[in-house]
A = this chain, B = another copy of it.
Amino acid sequence: MAQVHARQLLGAYALFKDFEPAVLDALLQLSRVVRASAGDILFREGAPASSYLLVMQGKVEILRFGANGDEKIFGLLGEGQVAADAAMFMPHGRYPMTARAQGSAQVCLLGRQQLHECCRRYPDLALRLLAQLSQRVYQRVNEVDWVISSSAAQRLAVYMLNLAGPVGREINMPVNQRQLAARLGMRPETLNRLFSKWQEDGWISGRQRDWTLLDAEALQQVAGDSRRLF
């Protein structure tokens, strides 16, 4: 039953969509479905990367621990999303980050070897993976470029606008303020100061993780010309 669900989700994931059923069969060979409780570690940074992960239910956080023990949350994955697929090809053969269940969750662990084998047998899959990885290289290069040339206020404005989407006003942040400050490369006090200032100016209102954008245009002004054309 769980395997059927895993197969449906995997077949709906952009990378594996519209392939013949044999490809999904091969990918799912020796896979296993695992239940996790809040806080369970699904894989750990530095451990041998033998399988990648499909979220079947619940949420999975992707994170690293800083030298001072602080958590840095890099992503939050929901149902049907995949983690550590790139790690299956990294020459060092280790997980570059830690995956942890946010609440209770169900995931499917899929084998590295099966993925490699499918890339050999189905060149279209290899080419799709190349497209996906090159796109990620591109996004990361842009991120480095942007982080280096932006101010703390710009990074926070872009982060809030991205969360809100094109028409949204209500924002629920997936991380707490301490984690947000770490993620955006600013001190927690700087983040606090920006929130206070923007509330005084009537641009935003809210607290902790829940915010409303009252003046998205003002935030756009702060964000500036930071979006790339392609």
Chain A interface residues toward B at CB < 8 A: 46, 64, 66-67, 72, 74, 86-92, 94, 96-97, 116, 119-121, 123, 126-127, 129-131, 133-138, 140-145, 147-149, 182-185, 224-225, 229-230
| B119–A126 touching, CB < 8 Å | yes
Extra pairs beyond A119-B127, A119-B130, A148-B184 (13, CB < 8 Å): A66-B149, A72-B145, A87-B134, A91-B131, A92-B230, A96-B138, A96-B142, A123-B126, A133-B134, A133-B137, A137-B137, A137-B140, A147-B185
Write the chain B residue with the least CB distance to A133. B133
Main secondary structure of the interface of A (DSSP, over half): helix
Report how far A146 CA is from B185 CA in the complex, Å: 9
Known contacts A130-B133, A148-B185, A185-B149: A90-B123 contact under CB 8 Å? no
Residues A90 and B135 in contact, CB atoms below 8 Å apart: yes
**A144 B149 Cβ-Cβ under 8 A:** no
**Nearest residue in B to A185 (C-beta to C-beta)?**
B148
Q: Which one of B74, B123, B138, B230 contacts A119 once the chains associate, using CB atoms below 8 Å?
A: B123
